[in-house]
Amino acid sequence: MFNTALTLSRSKVMGGFAAVLLAATSFATTAFAVTPEEIKAKGTATIGVQMDQFPWGFIDPKGQNDGFDIEIAKLIGKELGVEVKFERITGQNRIPLLVNGNVDFLVPSMTITEERAKVIQYVIPYSSNDITVWGKKDAAIKANEDLGKYVIGVNRGSAFDPLLVKVAPPNTQIKRFDDDATTVQSLLSDQVDAIVGSITYGLVIKQAGYDAQFERKYKVADNFQGMAVRKGDQEMLAFLTDFVTRHTADGTLDALYKKWIGVDRAKLPTTLPGVDFTGKQ
């Protein structure tokens, strides 16, 4: 854990960062506000999605976008009656791309956090992804306190990173990587002893043929995910909220989640502490 002085310093830096992003968001809301009718009029929806995070969003052997989020994005495009243009997002660029108007909205498998909710407008959760520790089978990791004995990898642009810092012992050696793919690869190539991240990392490990050597150690925390629009895009927010509500009720999202993630979709909350899903606050 950080000492008190460093924690306070980090708090000030994060507060300043949030203030700058909020100012940028205010400008973007005016300059780039988008509605479903405007998207229909231009005939194209530019949607920010993952392209290197199996099974959420990835490029298949034919060079086409595929995955859980891709199918959802295509379904949104179909309901809008427009062509879908996919824009590649990463943990580092997804919020700037949205705020700066490069995409109309995000279907990003992105963790809902209070800090991010100050800058972007979340839609009610459509997915979940338990934050999990994956490690070598012979690594004696059963709880957070065991992490300090090993080298732990994490995606630096994700919500996994600050959580790892919070729960790991102070002496934990942490190695950070640019995205989920390189984080998983760091484990498979013996750069680290364990990684903290998505429950779906296990699908990648199995697909790569390494499931006999690595295993899921334990669940660190819940991880609810939401689509996102710019603050002030109330009509787009309403459209996507209705989309999630309708397709939760008719089972569409459950079926897609089961198809791609391999387990039943959890019952997801429609309210979370510190997060406004209405866009009215």
The span from the CA of 49 to the CA of 87, in Å, is 6
Confidence of residue 263 (pLDDT cuts 50, 70, 90): confident
- Main-chain dihedrals φ then ψ at residue 11, nearest 5 degrees: -60, -40
In which band, very low, low, confident or very high, does the pLDDT at 32 lie, cut at 50, 70 and 90?
low
pTM confidence score? 0.75
Region for residue 72 given its phi and psi (left: phi exceeds 0; alpha: psi -120 to 50; beta: otherwise): alpha
Residue 29's pLDDT is what?
Answer: 42
**d(C-alpha 204, C-alpha 56), whole Å:** 11
Query: Of 76, 94, 96, 123, which is closest to residue 27 (Cα–Cα)?
Result: 96
Asked, for residue 281, whether it belongs to a domain, the answer is no
Q: Which is more confidently placed, 129 or 80?
A: 80
pLDDT of res. 159? 85
Same domain (yes/no): 208, 228: no
Could you tell me if residue 266 is inside a domain?
no
Domain boundary among 198, 221, 244: 221
Q: Which tens digits make up the pLDDT trace of 236-247?
A: 999 999 999 999
Q: Is the residue at 63 inside a domain?
A: yes
Ramachandran category for residue 276: left, alpha or beta (phi over 0 → left; psi -120 to 50 → alpha): beta
Query: Mean pLDDT, to the nearest integer, of 262-268?
Result: 90
Let me know if 204 is exposed, middle or buried by CB neighbors in 10 A (0-12, 13-18, 19+). buried
Q: What is the pLDDT of residues 55-78, one digit of tens each?
A: 999 999 999 999 999 999 999 999
CA-based nearest residue to 244, from 87, 130, 127, 95: 127
Torsion region of 241: left, alpha or beta (phi above 0 gives left; psi -120 to 50 gives alpha): alpha
| 238 plus 176 within the same structural domain | no
Residues 111, 247 within the same domain: yes
Domain hosting residue 92, numbered range: 7-128+224-261
Q: What is the 3-state secondary structure (H, E, C) of 248-267?
A: HHCCHHHHHHHHHHCCCCCC
Query: What mean pLDDT is reported for the chain?
Result: 89
CATH of the domain at 168: 3.40.190.10
Local structure of residue 25 (DSSP, 8 states):
H
Query: Do 112 and 43 reside in the same domain of the chain?
Result: yes
Q: Is residue 2 over pLDDT 60?
A: no
In this structure, are 216 and 115 located in the same domain?
no
**212 pLDDT tier (thresholds 50, 70, 90):** very high
Q: How far is CA 65 from CA 23, 94, 237, in A?
A: 34, 17, 24
Amino acid 158: pLDDT: 87
Is the domain of 97 the same as that of 135? Answer: no
